[in-house]
Amino acid sequence: MKIARFSRLGFILAAAGSAVGLGNIWKFPYITGIYGGGAFVLIYLFTVLLIGFSVMIAEMLIGYMGRKDGVTSFEELAPKHSGMWKFGGFQGLAGLFIMTFYSVVIGWIFHYIATSIFYLPSSAKEAENVFTTMLHTGFTTQLFYHTVAFVWITYVVNKGIKGGIEKMNMILMPSLVIILSAMFVYATTLDTFSKAVDFMFLPDWSKINSEAFVTAVGHAFFTLSLGMGAIMTYSASLPKDANIVKNTLWVVFLDTTIAIVAGLMLFTFLYQYGAGPAKGPGLVFISLPAAFYEMGVLGNIFAVLFFIALAFAGLTSSVSLVEPMVQYFIDRSGWSRLKASVSMGLFFYLIGIIVILSNIDGYKEFLTWGGKNLFDWIDFTTAAIMLPFGGLIMAIFVGFVIDKKKVESIMRPQLKFAFDIWYFSLRYIVPVSMFVVMLNLMGII
Ligand code: TRP
C-alpha cells in the first residue's frame, strides 16, 4: 500500500501541531507558577536543548528509516533481538493514556468557549466556584464536551495523514499563531509586562528541589511530544529528501517560542488584572477568566479567542497521540483506517469517562489513591515515567543498536561537526539523565 506523504510545510506544521499543545499554553505556565518562575524556566530550556533536541532527532530518524508504524520500524531496524526491540513501538499506548485526560481537558475548553462570550466571573472567588462546580458536579457537561472532542479527533484521524491530519494542521496552526500573537502584542503594551518578564527570566533558586527538576525534565518530553512515537509515526511519512535537523529545529523553535509567549502573556494579564501567578492547574480556567472580566468587553472577546487557540492547540496534538496505535493496527493487523480510528477513539473515550468521574463528588473517593485521583495518576505516570522511559529506549536504540554507519550516513551530512556531539549525547548524556530521573522517582535519590 502506498503511504500518503506529508508536504514539506505540512510535516513541520503537523509535527509542531503535535508539540504545541495543552502542554504549552495550559501546563507550562502553571507549573512555572508553582515552581517559582525563572529558575524552573531555565532548567526546562536547558533540558530541551541538551536532551529534547537529541531525542527528537533520534525519534525522527527511526521513523524516517523505518517508514512503518513504530512497532515495525523498531523491529526492522534492530539487527538482532528484534522481537524484544519491537516493544519500543508499543510506547504508542502511552499516547492513548494521555488522551484519556487530554480529551477531558479539551472538553473543559470547549465549555469555556461556549460560555465566555456572555459570561465571565467577576472575581477570583467566583471563578474558582464556577470551575470547581464544573469539575466536581458537572458530569453531564464534561461528558458532553468530552464526546464532542472524541468525535472531532476520531473524524480527523479517520481521514488519514494527508486529508485529515495535514489539512487540519494547515488551518489550525496558523490561526493559533495569529490569535496568540495579537494577544501577546496587546500584553506588551501593559505596564506589568516587564514584571512578567522578570518572573519568567530572573531565576529564583529557592523553589527548586528535585521534584521541580524531574517535573522540568518530564515536561520537556511532554511538550516536545517525545518518547511515545508520535513524531516517529509522522516522520514515517516524511518526504524522501527531508532534512531531519532542519525539521527538528523548526519544531523545537516553534514549541519553545509559543510556550514562552503564552507564559509571558498570561502572567502579564494576571499581574495587570489581579490574580498573581501560582494557581496550579486552574490557572487558565480560574485566574485568567477573572482577569479577563476586569478588561470589560475586550475581555470577553479575548477569552473566547484564547480558548479557541487553546482548543486548536489541543486538537492538533490529540491526533498525534492517537495516530501511532491507529497506524499500528492498520499495518500489523490489516484493520481498515475506520475500524482502527474508532477503536482507538473508543479506548480513550471510555476510560476518559472514568477520568471525569475521578473528579466528581461521590465517585472521586473511590478513584483516588495515595492523594492522587485517576486523572492525576495518569498525568503523572505518562509524563514523568512513560515518556522519559520511551526517550531512553529511543536514545539507546539509535546510539547503540542501529549500525553506526547507517546512522552516520544519514546524519553526518545534516549535522556536520555536531554529529559527534549528538551521538555522544544519545549514548551517554540522555541515558544518564533519564536514569537519574528514574532513581529520583523511585525515591532513591
Ligand atoms: N506535546 C503536546 C503538548 O504539549 C502533547 C503531546 C502530543 C504529546 N503528542 C504527544 C506528548 C506525544 C507526548 C508524546 O500538549
287 assigned to some structural domain: yes
At 283, the pLDDT band (50, 70, 90 cuts) reads: confident
Q: Which domain holds residue 392?
A: 8-441
CA of 389 to the centre of ligand 1 (A): 15
Where residue 381 sits, what CATH number does that domain have?
A: 1.20.1740
Which segments within 348-432 are labelled E, that is strand?
A: 368-369, 372-373
Residue spans of beta strands (DSSP E) within 272-382: 368-369, 372-373
101-129 per-position pLDDT tens digit: 999 999 999 999 999 988 998 888 888 88
Q: What pLDDT digit, counting tens, does each position of 389-432 carry?
A: 899 999 999 999 999 999 999 999 999 999 999 999 999 999 99
- pLDDT bracket for residue 3 (50, 70, 90): low
| Residue 425 in grid coordinates | 549525547
The verdict on residue 77 lying in a domain is yes
Atom 11 of ligand 1, residue of closest alpha carbon: 225
DSSP E strand boundaries for 235-344: none
Calculate how far, in angstroms, residue 215's C-alpha sits from the geometric centre of ligand 1: 15
Best residue among 18, 310, 327 to mutate for probing ligand 1, ranked by most atoms within 8 Å of CB: 18
> What pLDDT does 275 receive?
64
In a domain, 3, yes or no: no
Q: How confident is the model at residue 272 (pLDDT cuts 50, 70, 90)?
A: confident
- Residue 225 CB less than 6 A away from ligand 1: yes
The CB of 231 under 6 Å from ligand 1? The reply is no
Overall domain count for the chain: 1
Q: Determine the residue type at 429.
A: I
Q: Is residue 2 part of a domain?
A: no
Q: In a mutational test of the pocket of ligand 1, which residue from 24, 30, 256, 321 has the highest number of ligand atoms less than 8 Å from its CB? A: 321
pLDDT of residue 63: 95
Q: C-alpha grid cell for residue 220? A: 520537556
Question: Which residue's CA lies nearest to atom 7 of ligand 1?
Answer: 317
Residue count of the chain: 445
> pLDDT category, 294, cuts 50, 70, 90?
confident
User: Is there an atom of ligand 1 within 6 Å of 19 CB?
Assistant: yes
Q: Is 223 in the pocket of ligand 1 (CB under 6 A)?
A: yes
Is residue 278 pLDDT above 70, yes or no?
no
Q: How far apart are CA 324 and CA 231, in angstroms?
A: 9
What lies within 8 Å, CB to CB, of 79 at 6+ separation is 401, 402, 403
> What pTM was computed for the model?
0.92
d(CA 117, CA 300) in angstroms, rounded, equals: 5
pLDDT band at 56 (very low <50, low <70, confident <90, very high): very high
Q: Rounded distance, CA 134 to CA 29, Å?
A: 22
* Ligand 1, atom nearest to 22 Cα: 15
Compute the distance from residue 223 Cα to the ligand 1 centre, in Å: 5
Q: What is the pLDDT of residues 139-150, one digit of tens each?
A: 999 999 999 999
Average pLDDT for the chain: 91
Query: Could you tell me the distance, in angstroms and rounded to a whole number, from the CA of residue 273 to the centre of ligand 1?
Result: 31
Dist. CA 47–CA 158, nearest whole Å: 35
Q: Is 286 in the pocket of ligand 1 (CB under 6 A)?
A: no
* Residue of 172, 225, 316, 386 best suited for mutating to test ligand 1, as the one with most atoms within 8 Å of CB: 225
Distance 355 CA to ligand 1 centre (A): 18
Pocket mutation for ligand 1, best pick of 223, 378, 382 (most atoms within 8 Å of C-beta): 223
| Residue 306 resides in a domain | yes
pLDDT band at 19 (very low <50, low <70, confident <90, very high): very high
Reported confidence tier of residue 182, pLDDT bands at 50, 70, 90: very high
Is 1 inside any structural domain? no
The secondary structure element, H or E, covering residue 424 is helix 418-424
